Amino acid sequence: MHVAPKTAGAPAPVALKIAGWAIAFRAFSAVLALLSNIVFPDYRSEQFTVWGSTSVFWDAFARHDSGWYWQIARYGYTGGAGAYVPGGRSAIAYFPAYPLLMRYVGRALGPRPADLYIGGLVVSWVAFVLAMIGVYYLARLDLPPRRAERAAILAAIFPFAFVFGAVYSEALFLAATLACFYCFRTRRWIPGGLCGALATATRVNGIMMWPALAWIAWSGVSGGEDTRREGRRAIIGLLLVGAGVGSYSLFVYRLSGNPFEWAAAIQRWGYYPGGSPFTVFFGLGRALITHPYAFLAGERMAPYDSLNGVAALACVVSVPFIWMRFGAGYGLFMAANLWLPLSSGQVEGMARYSAVMFPLFIWLASLRSRAAFVPTVIVFAMLYTLCMALFTNIYPLF
Number of structural domains found in the chain: 1
Q: What is the CA radius of gyration of the chain?
A: 21
Whether 301 maps to a domain, the answer reads no
Task: Answer whether residue 49 is part of any domain.
Answer: yes
The answer to whether residue 178 is domain-embedded is yes
User: What's the confidence (pLDDT) of residue 270?
Assistant: 83
Q: What is the pLDDT of residues 243-254, one digit of tens each?
A: 999 999 999 999
Q: What average pLDDT does this structure show over 55-80?
A: 95
- Is 351 among the domain residues? no
**CB 354 within 8 Å of CB 312:** yes
Residues 6+ apart with CB under 8 A from 110: none
- Predicted confidence at residue 368, as pLDDT, reads 83
Type of residue at 377 = V
Range of the domain at 105: 12-268+382-392
What pLDDT digit, counting tens, does each position of 289-347 carry?
A: 999 999 999 999 999 999 999 999 999 999 999 999 999 999 999 999 999 999 998 89
Reported confidence tier of residue 88, pLDDT bands at 50, 70, 90: confident
Instruction: Establish if 213 belongs to a structural domain.
Output: yes
359 in a domain, yes or no? no
pLDDT band for position 222 (50/70/90)? low
Give yes or no for residue 7 having a pLDDT over 60: no
Residue 121 lies in a domain: yes
Give SS3 for 269. Answer: coil
More confident call, 368 vs 12: 368
Helix or strand run (H / E) with residue 148: helix 145-157
Higher pLDDT, 278 or 100: 100
Cα 349 from Cα 203, distance rounded (Å) = 13
pLDDT band at 223 (very low <50, low <70, confident <90, very high): low
- The answer to whether residue 113 sits within a structural domain is yes
